Amino acid sequence: MNQQIQNEGFSLLRLCADLEDFLINGRSKNTYLKETDEFLNYIKSSLAAVNNHIRKMIASDIKDELIKSKLRELGEIRKVISWLYIFTKQTIDSDSLSIPFSLATFINSLTRKLQNSEEVSLVVLSTGNLNYYKLHLLDFRNLADSLSTCIENYPLLKKDLGILMFPYCAVREVLMNCSLFHEMGHYFYENSKIGIKIAARIENDFFNFINKTQMVAKLNLPLVTGKDLLVYVCQLLRTWADEIFADIFAIRILGPAFHLAYLEIEQLLPINIGENRSFSNTHPADYFRFNMHAKWLNEGGWDNILEEHVPEVYEKLKECRKLQINHKDFRISCKPPLENNLDLEKELHEWMLEEFEEVIIEIEKQIHELFTNFEKPFDDFVNNDKLVREYLTHGVIPSTVYNDNGEKFTPCPTTILNSGFFFYLNEMQRLLRMIVTKKEINEIDKRMHWEKRLNEWLGKAIEDWQILGEKH
């Protein structure tokens, strides 16, 4: 038996055992959403498979010629365990009381409805990062495929699984957590396989482009340069497509509350419109995103509402709507593998932005298809917005609202979020005037306290809507 393999193997086994203990102890103390519980089972099965595999490896007689590759395998397994290590902690910490429960439940029910499947599992986990994101499970899925070929019984990731992350301090937040609808969009992008379709399209168009321009030949670089360039182009365009899809998705399913949550997090709205026009290696330019937000908010019927409630946001969106790729209003801040040839770089980047416009046509088509026959949030909003905001002004949770004729309505969670956001931005003073507090509480603390309460009321209203829905 090889000593190095034994040392590395036992070290990994101890790590697996510690994680398994942590998992069992954590689960015994908390309760979890069904989706989170299923994910904990997945982690448990992964650890068990890795544990068995390493035990077998330690016990077997490995030939000298294979020792190096077995050590590499253990090294890569260590990286897998290091991820499981992070996931285990994040998942154990995300019990029902430590996540935005009502929003997580609502997001899951919406996804099930949109996908027309009960198998959907969107796991909402808290993260130590002050950001929202979705785990890119396509890579983990491919990795699990690779692992299952070398580790017996290594479980494949469930097809309809998505993992959405929110900053742990935002557990009582509702308005800022509207960003989760964008992360939900990433799940749909990944699950619809549109990414692969787009990659095939980009590859084809890029082939025609470099043939036309003779780009690889002009550089006179060795073979493999074409593939380098293809990877560069594909990775960027696919990443941007994923982001724009998620943005449009969030606007279509929720409405302006997503755009407002985005602004809240990014603290944008700079004075100079010349800024934020750069596409980076992770995201399209902010103003390009706002351009798409504006287009889809308009399509959703929100223009007049925005103009009335948040005129400065509306004006900024109108400005962004005027910006266009073919007017060269945007640029790419990344460096292609073109040996610093600035002319070719410019030519390539111009083509990439034009290609991205074509990709967006495909994305918009997919979104239209996905939302065929799916209600628009605007319809419920126009019926219930005023009543929701009136209830909030009086500190009443707007789960069930009555109009002047005594008619009863149960506003949709999307209305609760949109109206709640407008109330938060414009009408907090109305609420604060109604509340008499002890003199020693200063105005800042008072406002902060009632902003928190507002978020809690909105969360409760979303929960009530689901309970009322179950009752009927």
Partner 1 sequence: MGIEEMVGAMRLTFFCNKCVEIFYRFRIGQEAKELKQICEMATLAFKSLKWPQERDVNVTIGQSAALFNTNEEIESFKIMMATRTGTPEKYLNEIIDWLSIVQMEEKPMEERKSNAEKLQGFFDTLGDHSFYASRECQRDADFVLYRG
Site residues, partner 1 (CB under 8 A)? 63, 65-66, 68-70, 72-73, 75-76, 79-80, 82-83, 86, 129, 131-136, 138-143, 145-147, 149-150, 186, 195-196, 199-200, 203, 207, 210-211, 216, 222-224, 226-228, 230-232, 234-235, 238, 242, 282-283, 337
Q: What is the DSSP string of 59-126?
A: HS---HHHHHHHHHHHHHHHHHHHHHHHHHHHHHH--GGGS-HHHHHHHHHHHHHHHT-S--EEEEEE
Q: How far is the CB of 136 from partner 1 (least distance, A)?
A: 4
Closest to partner 1 by CB, 230 or 323: 230
* Residue 373 burial (10 A CB sphere; 0-12, 13-18, 19+): exposed
**For the CA atoms of the chain, what is the radius of gyration?**
26
Closest to partner 1 by CB, 209 or 422: 209
Closest to partner 1 by CB, 218 or 283: 283
Q: How far is the CB of 61 from partner 1 (least distance, A)?
A: 14
* Residue 262 burial (10 A CB sphere; 0-12, 13-18, 19+): buried
| φ, ψ (nearest 5 deg) of residue 133 | -160, 165
Residue with tokens 């003199």: 439
What is the Cα 28 distance to its own chain's centre?
Answer: 30
Three-state SS at 408: strand
Closest to partner 1 by CB, 211 or 426: 211
DSSP 8-state assignment for residue 240: H
Closest to partner 1 by CB, 72 or 365: 72
Q: What is the DSSP string of 326-356?
A: GGT--EE-S--SSTT-HHHHHHHHHHHHHHH
Q: How far is the CB of 144 from partner 1 (least distance, A)?
A: 10
Closest to partner 1 by CB, 151 or 392: 151
Q: How far is the CB of 310 from partner 1 (least distance, A)?
A: 24
Q: How far is the CB of 273 from partner 1 (least distance, A)?
A: 23
Q: Are 103 and 462 in contact (CB under 8 A)?
A: yes
Q: How far is the CB of 330 from partner 1 (least distance, A)?
A: 19
Closest to partner 1 by CB, 41 or 129: 129
Q: How far is the CB of 172 from partner 1 (least distance, A)?
A: 22
Q: Are 73 and 140 in contact (CB under 8 A)?
A: no
For residue 249, give the nearest of 304, 205, 189 by alpha carbon: 189
Instruction: Copy the structure tokens of residue 225.
Output: 């340069």
Closest to partner 1 by CB, 31 or 282: 282
Q: How far is the CB of 11 from partner 1 (least distance, A)?
A: 16
